Amino acid sequence: EAQVTQNPRYLITVTGKKLTVTCSQNMNHEYMSWYRQDPGLGLRQIYYSMNVEVTDKGDVPEGYKVSRKEKRNFPLILESPSPNQTSLYFCASRGQGSTEAFFGQGTRLTVV
């Protein structure tokens, strides 16, 4: 089954404690991206990757890092999380030449 898998689904952490949210897709898609969803703001792009070892900032990259060492994986790293990063995060992938993006189930992060 074609899917984008994020882990964990829920995470509560403390300010400053480094964390990683994993994202994996099994569709051999070139393009992957991370979004955060906040009430009244919709989904905003954090980072994206056009292919292995090619990443770039989206609209709200501050406080986040990403890497793309393998085509299927695109982890989101918060080196020093802060409460304003409490949000619902989505990973998405899209194939080259395709119009449709596939989304993961989301990761609800709470930073206290």
Which residues of this chain interact with other proteins, rule CB under 8 A?
Answer: 4, 31, 33, 35, 40-45, 48, 50, 58, 90, 92, 94, 99-101, 103-106
Cβ contact 34:85 at 8 Å: no
Residues across the chain:
112
Least distance to other proteins, CB of residue 103, Å: 4
Nearest approach, Cβ of residue 13 and other proteins (Å): 20
φ, ψ dihedrals at 84, nearest 5°: -75, 0
Minimum CB distance to other proteins smaller for 84 or for 105: 105
CB of 104 to other proteins, least distance (A): 6
Please report, for residues 36, 43, 67, 85, 86, the alpha-carbon distance to residue 39 in angstroms, rounded to integers and kept in the order given.
10, 9, 27, 13, 11
